[in-house]
Amino acid sequence: MPRPFEALCERLLRAGIAPRHVRRYERELGEHLDDLTAMQKCRGYDDEDAAIRARALLGTDDELADAMTACKQFRSLAARLPWLVFALAPPVLAAALLLSCGLTVAGALYPFFHGRPLPSNLIAAVDVLCRIFNILAGPLTAVFFVILAVRQHLPWRWPVIAVGVVALFSAFTVFIVHLPSALDTHLEVGVGLAAYDTTLWQNAARFCLTAVIALVATHILRIRRTTV
Amino acid sequence: MPGQPNPNFMAGVPELVVLRLLKDREMYGYEIVQAIREQSGQVLNAGEGVIYPVLHALEKDGALKSRRKTVSRRSRVYYRVTPKGLQRFERLANSWGTLVAAIQSVLKGEPHAAPV
């Protein structure tokens, strides 16, 4: 069953109103409509007439949408500055995600580290974790921006730009954890350019992996949105 | 305010009315709309839902605070005016008073400035 203000919400999201403001508006309009309907029933109208009269009193979709879109402060950052959100923020977020992974690994290893080489099974586990982070950070970041764009009903060029930027970034960036060994007792965590450590084919493969995962997520979200 | 342009004579009126009503007690959206309708003698009578963007904008500016409260098994968002909102109300009320006086003066044909 369609929500009573579905078309209005769709219109507001397309106009760039932030989803949280749209949800709040929808909820309060629903409560107001319930009050109006109850009042019409008290005046003796049957359920159907009361509902029609209440909806008319609430205002047309044009009135309700215009009142909201006239308030510029309700526009989302993504609608106001899409280039900032979908072109500049993705690499920053991807880097932040990798760094936070690094700090998590460092924090987890700290209790085992006393300037001595770490146990071999722990080294193997960290190596696997690093590989997983390096593979997943890009796609996760790209999917985040896709979800952001889908929620706000933004034009498809923006998530595509974000996916492209993140794919490029993740193809040439690598997260490294240098564990203490017998020769070197330092524990180092860092994010750096992968160009020197990897071949062009590896970079291309990472670019494609990020792009494909993000585009598949986009496709799934699009299908869900059209079928729900 | 004197000397300031008034591109839209109705600008600020919804805020003024809402702040005046909430000055006395906290109210929820439906209650505010009914109060506006009654107290204006049905003159201020737009689509009722358009009150919410006004309330949300005032809250975003810090002029109102809201809280969800359940009364008689109905959960509603109640709004109340903040000290910042009271200051805003005073400013708007002064501004509106000046504007009304100016318009009345024009309608009565009273000259404000001496002819050159």
Say yes or no: A64 and A90 in one domain: no
CB A32 to CB B60 under 8 A?
Answer: no
CB contact under 8 A, B54 and A67: yes
Indicate whether B3 belongs to any domain: no
Residue A11 in any domain: the answer is yes
With a pLDDT cut of 70, the percent of chain B lying above it is: 84
- Residue A174: the pLDDT is 75
CATH code (residue B94): 1.10.10.10
Return all residues near A114 (Cβ < 8 A) that are at least 6 apart.
Answer: none
Arithmetic mean of pLDDT over chain A: 82
The interface predicted TM-score of the complex, written ipTM, equals 0.81
- Specify the number of domains making up chain B: 1
A125 burial level (CB within 10 Å; 0-12, 13-18, 19+)? middle
Domain limits at A68?
6-74
| pLDDT: which is higher, A168 or B82 | B82
Residue B115 lies in a domain: no
Instruction: Give the pLDDT score at B2.
Output: 41
pLDDT surpassing 90 at residue A24: yes
The SS3 of residue A178 is: strand
Find the mean pLDDT for residues A162-181: 78
Handedness of CA B25, B30, B33, B39 (dihedral sign): negative
A68-91 average pLDDT score: 91
For B49, the closest chain A residue by CA position comes to A58
Domain range for B83 is 13-100
How close A90 gets to chain B, by Cα (Å)?
28
A141 and A120 together in one domain: yes
Spell out which residues of chain A touch residue B54, defining contact as CB-CB under 8 Å: 67
Strand B64-71 to strand B27-28: parallel, antiparallel, or no bridges (unpaired)? Answer: unpaired
B4 domain residue, yes or no? no
Question: Where is average pLDDT lowest: A73-87, A190-204, A205-219, B32-46?
Answer: A190-204
Say yes or no: B48 contacts chain A, CB-CB below 8 A: yes
**Among all residues of chain A, which has the CA nearest to that of B48?**
A58
- So what's the pLDDT on residue A99? 80
- The answer to whether B73 contacts chain A (CB < 8 Å) is no
Does A29 lie at the interface with B, CB-CB under 8 angstroms? yes
Same domain, A201 and A124: yes
Question: For residue A89, what pLDDT is reported?
Answer: 92
pLDDT in tens, A95-126: 888 788 777 877 777 776 666 666 777 778 87
pLDDT above 60 for B1: no
